[in-house]
Amino acid sequence: MSVPSTASGPLPWPQWAYVPGETGATDADYETLDLAKALVPSAFRGHVPARHPALRYALALNDRGYFWEAQEVLEAVWAAAPQGGRERILLRACIHIANANLRLRMQRPRSAARLFGDALGELRTLHSRKAAAAGDGFVETLPVPALIALLQAKLGRPELSKADWIGLGAIVRS
């Protein structure tokens, strides 16, 4: 997934991936993340567009290993998503996955498994809710059953490793 473009050009990648608690770690690249967060409206009307640049950027961040950064941008999109909507549930699941990926990088497999389990619970809730008419929303572009199966496979392993992180951008249908 390439860097999403905006009216002013493509969003830059953060200068480094922030990992809390790493020895000698510097603070996160908030300046770069603020560029993406500034694209998020105060509230989305009806749905979160699957092609929204901040959402696509967050998914691309996750897939490039910027897990903490992805979570930060996803939380901004989640906050603007329609209250009680299916996309809020899906975004919560994606936030849990990005956070679990970060925990795997931090070599905390039990914490990652718990977060993958939380994401799985959100996706099962989403899958059980009646779908609205097909549109261009984020929830219509992500094959929820495939992501549920992927999470179940990860959680079925005796122990997770750094290699078990989950990419989100490749799952989303453009």
pLDDT per position as a tens digit, 48-94: 999 999 999 999 999 999 999 999 999 999 999 999 889 999 999 99
Length, in residues, of the chain: 174
The CA dihedral of 20, 25, 26, 32, to the nearest 10 degrees, is -60
CA 89 to chain centre: 12
Average pLDDT over residues 110-139: 88
Structural element, H or E, at residue 45: none
pLDDT higher than threshold 80 for residue 172: no
Taking every pair of C-alpha atoms in the chain, what is the biggest distance, in angstroms? 50
Average pLDDT over residues 150-158: 95
According to the model, what pLDDT value does residue 26 have? 74
Bridge partners of residue 9, in order along the sequence: 6
149 pLDDT band, cuts 50/70/90, is very high
Name the more confident of 43 and 28.
Answer: 43
pLDDT higher than threshold 80 for residue 166: yes
H runs (alpha helix) in 38-108: 53-63, 67-80, 86-105
pLDDT higher than threshold 50 for residue 1: no
Among 25-29, 35-39, 102-106, the range scoring the smallest mean pLDDT is 25-29
CA–CA distance, 28 with 32 (Å, rounded to integer) = 9
CA–CA distance, 13 with 23 (Å, rounded to integer) = 22
**DSSP type of residue 162:** G
